[in-house]
Amino acid sequence: MAPTLSPLGSGAGPVHPGLVVTGFVDRVGDPIDLIAADGSAHRPADLVARAVQYLTRYSAGAFAGPPTIAATYPSYWKPQGVRALREALDQMDMTGVALVDEVGSILAQVESTRGLPSDGAVVVYDLGGNGLSVSVARGTEQIGRTVRNSEFGGKHIDDAILRQVLRGLDGELGDVDLAAPALLAPLNELRRRCQQAKETLSTETAAVVEVELGRVRHDVRLVRSELEDLIREQVVGSAGLVREALHTNEIDARDVRAVVLAGGAAATPLVAEVLSAEFHVPVIAEPDPGLTSANGAALLARSSVRATTSVPVPPPSMSAPTSATAPQAPEPPPSTDPVASKPPVVVAPANTVAPGSTGGGEKVGSRRRKRAFLAAAAIATLAAAIVGIAAHSVPKTEPQPAVNEQVHDPAPPAVTTPTPLPYPTRHVS
């Protein structure tokens, strides 16, 4: 059947029974296919491209004209990963989607809302669900390469909370077999609730985790200090990765002027506390660090919008087991886009891969062309984080869809030909 996206931790299953595939973003560029639970093989880049296509189709109804679309890719990806995604998008008739380096998007967003130091280096500390990426920049331009650690991320924090909750129930579980197949779904739900507790503890001092495992029904209270004790060693150790990134890119730690936080797990207060104490510089973070890169791509795309004529083309076909009439897209809820009310801004160029570009061999930030361009006023923006996708155009009167709403099998709206982003291209060898 056609793809259906479900927000992580939503707790809701798909409307139709189907195959659930996750973890494909980090596999892009891997020559080995991803094997799903039913034994079927899938190219990770194709799965990402389909996810981008789905979000684009669902969002297109909120715009009067052809939206300009920018999708961020993780800064630690190797060139073959970026090239694989570019090719997958092109094969799905999405040649107009511009790929933007995640670090450039993060810096563009922070520059527009908080400002960046005018001299010295800036560290970008991106603590996402699957790991930690550390990059170094001057202004809005990255220096050198990103250093990656996949052993500390949001999912590792969730696992630590889950173990803590289970330890607290040790006396009540008795002979309950946690490995029993019947408890797989309840354990996944418990893990989701642990994730919610982590997010709650980013702003509150205590959270309650409701446990339902077999006959066990219990509420476990978790306070922020307990969470900090669980992850303090990893957070303190992550400062070593920052120093490694500085050393790798030949930057003296005394030259660092600020640390920028991004990624959902970076909202944990202990992260800012440790990094501030370690490097004695300001730690900058958006209210929701998990959306920083997507909102940065939104700014870049919005700044590049030009008047153009909509040219609808038939959407790419998707395989389905049986022929059926395309379902109708749900009514878009009111917009919660954090950048929609901001006026268009001109931001420093981000490292990009132009649509259709697969040749060359430049380092990050090279061939930087300085362009000034005017942005249209009254632009609606939408940012959705899959690898980070943003679509922009002059809004209709109806509201935009929220990015965290679960939808199922929407009708494919007319696909339009967007305008490429007018900033320097980063060719990939």
Measuring CA to CA, how many Å separate 247 from each of 77, 163, 241, 244? Answer: 20, 35, 10, 5
Please check whether residue 372 lies inside any domain of the structure: yes
The CA distance from 94 to 274, in Å, is 42
The confidence score (pLDDT) of residue 343 equals 35
Please check whether residue 248 lies inside any domain of the structure: no
Q: pLDDT tens digit string along 354-401?
A: 444 433 333 333 333 333 332 332 233 333 334 454 444 434 434 343
Full domain range(s) for residue 195:
168-226
295 & 429 share domain: yes
Q: Which of 182, 200, 226 is the last residue of a domain?
A: 226
The CA distance from 293 to 125, in Å, is 12
387 & 303 share domain: yes
The confidence score (pLDDT) of residue 163 equals 92
The confidence score (pLDDT) of residue 357 equals 40
Asked if residues 245 and 147 have their Cβ atoms less than 8 Å apart, the reply is yes
219 & 297 share domain: no
The confidence score (pLDDT) of residue 115 equals 93
The CA distance from 256 to 239, in Å, is 13
Q: Please provide the average confidence, as pLDDT, over all residues in the chain.
A: 74
Please check whether residue 151 lies inside any domain of the structure: no
Q: Regarding predicted confidence, which is higher, 16 or 93? A: 93
Please check whether residue 150 lies inside any domain of the structure: no
When pLDDT is cut at 50, 70 and 90, the band that residue 298 belongs to is confident
Q: Which of 113, 85, 80, 117 is nearest to 100 (CA)?
A: 85
Q: pLDDT tens digit string along 46-104?
A: 999 999 988 888 877 777 777 788 899 999 888 999 999 999 999 998 988 889 999 99
Q: Which of 226, 258, 273 is the last residue of a domain?
A: 226
When pLDDT is cut at 50, 70 and 90, the band that residue 178 belongs to is confident
b (16+ CB within 10 A) / e for 33-48: ebeeeeeeebbbbbbb
Average pLDDT over residues 263-288: 95
Q: Which of 226, 243, 266 is the last residue of a domain?
A: 226
Q: Regarding predicted confidence, which is higher, 236 or 380? A: 236
Kindly provide the residue ranges of all beta strands, DSSP E only, lying in 227-273, ordered along the sequence.
Answer: 256-262
b (16+ CB within 10 A) / e for 189-201: bbbbbbbbbbbbb
Sign, Cα dihedral of 145, 147, 148, 154: negative
Domains identified in the chain, total number: 2
Which of the residue ranges 175-189, 204-218, 367-381 would you say has the lowest mean pLDDT? 367-381
Please check whether residue 236 lies inside any domain of the structure: no
Q: pLDDT tens digit string along 239-262?
A: 999 999 999 999 999 999 999 999
What residues contact residue 71 under an 8 Å CB cut-off, 6+ apart?
52, 89, 97, 98, 99, 100, 297, 386, 387, 388, 389, 390
The confidence score (pLDDT) of residue 7 equals 58
Please check whether residue 420 lies inside any domain of the structure: yes
87 & 182 share domain: no
Please check whether residue 241 lies inside any domain of the structure: no
Q: How many CB atoms lie within 10 A of CB 310?
A: 16
The confidence score (pLDDT) of residue 183 equals 85
What residues contact residue 285 under an 8 Å CB cut-off, 6+ apart?
260, 261, 262, 266, 267, 272
| pLDDT at residue 195 greater than cutoff 80 | yes
The CA distance from 124 to 110, in Å, is 11
104 & 182 share domain: no
Average pLDDT over residues 166-188: 83
Q: pLDDT tens digit string along 121-150?
A: 999 999 998 899 999 999 999 999 999 999
306 & 402 share domain: yes
109 & 206 share domain: no
Please check whether residue 275 lies inside any domain of the structure: no
The confidence score (pLDDT) of residue 174 equals 75
Sign, Cα dihedral of 92, 95, 98, 101: positive
95 & 175 share domain: no
305 & 409 share domain: yes
The confidence score (pLDDT) of residue 296 equals 94
Q: Regarding predicted confidence, which is higher, 183 or 386? A: 183
8 & 84 share domain: yes
The CA distance from 92 to 46, in Å, is 9
Please provide residue 342's backbone torsions phi and psi, each rounded to the nearest 5 degrees.
Answer: -80, 145
427 & 300 share domain: yes
